[in-house]
């Protein structure tokens, strides 16, 4: 921590696979997913202040709108941490946006996780990872996974996580000027009677060894059929990535962003030339 406060990177994520196993009694869906943090990241800085406030920079360059008030997940995270930290106080939370907004890349959850980690240090809460994960789960389903800082296998509705070993890989991210609300995507999955994807073990093996030629065709997301049916432009982006030479392509989360897997950085940059605003990134990010 410096006089300028605490600075944390809030890394975006890709769902290398997303398997929907069915609707639960509590209204959520039982999931299984390999969550891969990538080098694309927001910046989150926290400083001591009177009261809690959030400022957002750079959102005007990105799709969607980032709320700076009560619906901002970073502010929700700060309030949740304040409930369990005896040393909590005020803070100014400054977010520099680089992750496309509402695109299934976990930008809001990443900001919330980075805020929890930064305020835990700023306020001297000394909360352990398990306690922070419990706080994060109250903020959003993706937040516990984003707190880990590395690849995880996520189950339940997102609260059950286990570290996963994933070799570094390169991706091309294609995003749109709209997002798909998670509740809508899962409701469409129910309405369409969509099915669950295959056993992910072969995919997990390929991800661990870094065999991208094997991994590419194994990428899947059970939410793609219902989302593609309602947003055919997302399906078209996936098809175009494959036509451009991507080894595989998959929609991340509930969409609308689509990620194309490449052989290496040079291959990713070559693919990205065919897409306006495409982002070349890798994961997991360097420590």
| pLDDT value at residue 71 | 54
Q: 242 vs 1, 48, 154, 236, CA distance in Å? A: 45, 48, 27, 10
For the chain, list the domains and their CATH numbers.
6-163 (3.30.230.10), 169-283 (3.30.70.890)
Catalogue the active-site residues. Answer: 13, 142
pLDDT at res. 70: 43
Give how far the C-alpha of residue 232 lies from the chain's centroid of Cα atoms, to the nearest Å.
22
* Confidence class for position 72, pLDDT limits 50, 70, 90: confident
- Confidence band, pLDDT 50/70/90 cuts, at residue 11: very high
Rounded to two decimals, the pTM is 0.92
Cα–Cα distance measured from residue 262 to residue 94, given in angstroms and rounded to the nearest whole number:
33
Instruction: Determine how β-strand 160-163 pairs with β-strand 248-251.
Output: unpaired
Residue 52 in this model has a pLDDT that exceeds 70: yes
Ranking 70-74, 86-90, 107-111 by mean pLDDT, the lowest is 70-74
pLDDT value at 78 more than 80 = yes
Question: Looking at residue 286, what is its pLDDT?
Answer: 80
- Residue 67: both structure tokens together: 């709320």
């Amino acid at each position: 921590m410096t006089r300028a406060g605490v600075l944390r990177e809030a890394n975006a994520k890709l769902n290398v696979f997303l398997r929907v196993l069915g609707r639960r009694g509590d209204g959520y869906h039982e999931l299984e997913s390999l969550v891969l943090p990538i080098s694309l990241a927001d910046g989150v800085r926290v400083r001591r202040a009177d009261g809690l406030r959030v400022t957002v920079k750079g959102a005007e360059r990105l799709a969607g709108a980032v709320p700076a008030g009560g619906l901002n997940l970073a502010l929700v995270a700060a309030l949740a941490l304040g409930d369990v930290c005896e040393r909590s106080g005020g803070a100014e939370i400054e977010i520099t946006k680089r992750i496309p907004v509402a695109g299934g890349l976990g930008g809001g959850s990443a900001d919330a996780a980075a805020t929890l980690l930064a305020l835990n240090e700023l306020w001297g809460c000394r909360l352990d990872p398990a306690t922070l994960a419990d706080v994060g789960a109250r903020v959003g389903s993706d937040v516990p996974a984003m707190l880990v800082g590395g690849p995880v296998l996520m189950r339940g509705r997102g609260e059950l996580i286990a570290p996963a070993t994933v070799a570094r890989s390169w991706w091309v991210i294609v995003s749109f000027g709209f997002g798909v609300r998670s509740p809508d995507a899962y409701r469409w999955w129910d309405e369409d009677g969509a099915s669950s994807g295959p056993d992910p073990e072969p995919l997990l093996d390929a991800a661990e060894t870094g065999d991208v030629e094997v991994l590419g065709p194994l990428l899947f997301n059970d939410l793609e059929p219902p989302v593609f049916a309602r947003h055919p432009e997302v399906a078209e982006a996936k098809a175009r990535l494959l036509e451009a030479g991507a080894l595989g392509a998959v929609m991340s989360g509930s969409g609308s962003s689509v990620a194309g897997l490449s052989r290496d950085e040079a291959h990713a940059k070559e693919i990205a030339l065919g897409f306006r605003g495409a982002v070349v990134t890798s994961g997991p990010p360097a420590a």
